[in-house]
């Protein structure tokens, strides 16, 4: 694109889209701060990512997730435990956060083929969750090996995935139920 084209290029996002994206990033932030104390504590961050994708659609939901991650990358305390910074993203669990972008991209793909059908949304979010787990686990094993020594896949899954499968599926279900109730009032 030359300078003339750059100046006249119209954005596909309107003001309402930008507002929804910002509100989505804020909701993901707030939910990441809410920790449910159990044997293995978990946050509502995944719920918010699922809800934003289902509520705002793939494009706006993924952009809200990207804004959330970028805010955290520049140091805003948006991640769990009011943490932020590149160090969190490059740490052992950073791959799970980055994996939310994969979830969004998979959701966009399924949205094109299945529109907003319940079956399409469920499949997209479940596959997105699996891809997030996969990226996060590989990332975890790589970073952990550099600092503490290599571990096996089953050990990493036992620490980082297995305890979260049931809670994440519950969050996925709740996100779909709530988004289907709220979606009619969203433009």
Here the CATH number for the domain that contains residue 147 is: 1.10.1760.20
Number of domains in the chain: 1
38 is a domain residue: yes
115 is a domain residue: yes
The mean pLDDT value for 113-136 works out to 95
The mean pLDDT value for 40-50 works out to 92
Q: Assign 6 a pLDDT band (cuts: 50, 70, 90).
A: very low
CB within 8 Å of 146: residues ≥ 6 apart: none
137 is a domain residue: yes
Which tens digits make up the pLDDT trace of 46-82? 999 999 999 999 999 999 999 999 999 999 999 999 9
Q: What is the pTM of this model?
A: 0.91
140 is a domain residue: yes
5 is a domain residue: no
What is the rounded distance in angstroms from the CA atom of residue 146 to the CA atom of residue 149?
6
SS3 38: coil
Inter-axis angle of helices 165-182 and 45-56, nearest 10: 30
Q: Please give the residue range of the domain that contains residue 103.
A: 13-185
Q: What residues are paired with 184 via a beta bridge?
A: none
Closest CA to 66 of 109, 98, 27, 31: 98
Q: What angle do CA 117, 122, 126 make, to 5 degrees?
A: 150
68 is a domain residue: yes
6 is a domain residue: no
Closest CA to 78 of 143, 27, 129, 139: 27
């Amino acid at each position: 694109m030359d300078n003339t084209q750059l100046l006249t290029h119209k954005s596909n996002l309107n003001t309402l889209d930008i507002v929804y994206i910002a509100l989505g990033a804020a909701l993901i932030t707030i939910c990441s701060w809410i920790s449910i104390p159990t044997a293995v504590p978990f946050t509502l961050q995944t719920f918010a990512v699922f809800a934003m994708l289902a509520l705002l659609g793939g494009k706006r939901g993924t952009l809200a997730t990207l804004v959330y991650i970028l805010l955290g990358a520049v140091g805003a305390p948006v991640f769990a435990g009011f943490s932020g910074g590149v160090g969190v993203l490059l740490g052992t669990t950073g791959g799970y956060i980055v994996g939310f972008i994969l979830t969004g991209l998979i959701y966009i793909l399924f949205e094109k083929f299945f529109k907003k059908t319940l079956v399409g949304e469920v499949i997209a979010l479940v596959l997105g969750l699996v891809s997030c787990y996969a990226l996060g686990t590989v990332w975890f094993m790589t970073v952990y090996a550099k600092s503490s020594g290599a571990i096996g896949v089953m050990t990493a899954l036992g620490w980082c995935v297995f305890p979260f499968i049931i809670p994440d599926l519950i969050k996925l279900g709740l996100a779909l139920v709530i988004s289907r109730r709220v979606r009619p009032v969203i433009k």
